[in-house]
Amino acid sequence: MHVEVTGSGPPLVLLHGWAMHGGVFAPLVARLRDRHTLHVVDLPGHGYSRDSAVPLDLPACAAAIADCVPPAPWCGWSLGGLIALHAASRDPAQVTALAMLCASPRFVRSEDAADPWPYAVSADVFRDFATGLRSDYRGTLDRFVALEAFGSDHAKDEMRAMRDGLLLRGEPAADVLADGLELLQTSDLRGVLPTLPVRSAWLAGRRDRLVDPRAMRAAAALAPRSRLHVVEHAGHAPFLTHADEVAAQLVAFMDDRAVDPGRAA
């Protein structure tokens, strides 16, 4: 598995989202590398890990990443958040703190009155993307990028950045993309939150149309030692459009202090 190591200081692990690669974090890396040694992972089947034999499931990914990085806080964006949350719940000695960046313990809505989770997308969204991968691979990736950027004040810039960077490390493996969509559609990690053994930060985009900030607020409320921050005017990738704010929140969280609004990371 490919892990890029850059910067100096205490370690921090960064996990990207579906169909992307670690290069998407470039704006965040630029702001954090003077404060932290960053371990930027390409998930199996993505980027420079395209030919990795590690299956894209939560236990296998968490174990493979843990073998490649030192004990550290893990920050997971979107799909990467599911992997980070799973790892933190199982191995707090390895994952010493958890930052969920536009990530939810459950991405799919539940209308069950006995077990509601209303602030999420319909399962049909992921089923449609899975069908689209088989008939129009490039078009499906393009539609997903558009969904990620939708709602942001800087949607066009965000979309352009993700589209331009999407294939810079090669095309992600189609079967792995299907596996990733299955993870997003079926995973439900809400049950681990009340006993989460590490402190957590939940960083949401106010205008995120994929991970509703209300879902992140509800998740944070379930976890002990949690904090929530909502980035106003941001969509699903606030580290692209509001990198200074996201970096400041991450630095403050890892330093275990509140953010000073007048001070950048």
Contacts of 43 (CB under 8 A, 6+ apart): 1, 15, 16, 21, 49, 56, 61, 79, 80, 83
CA 151 to chain CA mean position, Å: 18
E strands, 58-176, where? 72-77, 95-101
Return d(Cα 115, Cα 111) in angstroms, integer.
8
- List the 72-77 sheet strands across, edge first: 3-7, 37-41, 11-15, 72-77, 95-101, 200-205, 226-231
Answer yes or no: 34 catalytic: no
Helix, strand or coil for residue 144? helix
For residue 126 the two structure tokens come to: 């992921």
Catalytic member of 49, 208, 226, 242: 208
Whether 208 is a known active-site residue: answer yes
Specify whether the CB–CB gap between 207 and 100 falls below 8 A.
no
- Selecting among 2, 16, 236, 242, the annotated active-site residue is 236
d(C-alpha 210, C-alpha 129), whole Å: 13
DSSP 41-91: E--TTSGGGTT--S-SSHHHHHHHHHHHS-SEEEEEETHHHHHHHHHHHH-
Active site residue 236: yes
**Residue from 49, 52, 78, 226 carrying the catalytic annotation:** 78
Closest CA to 165 of 33, 17, 30, 38: 17
Residues facing 3 on adjacent strands: 41
- Which of 183, 238, 150, 143 lies closest to 46, judged by CA? 183
Active site residue ranges? 78, 208, 236
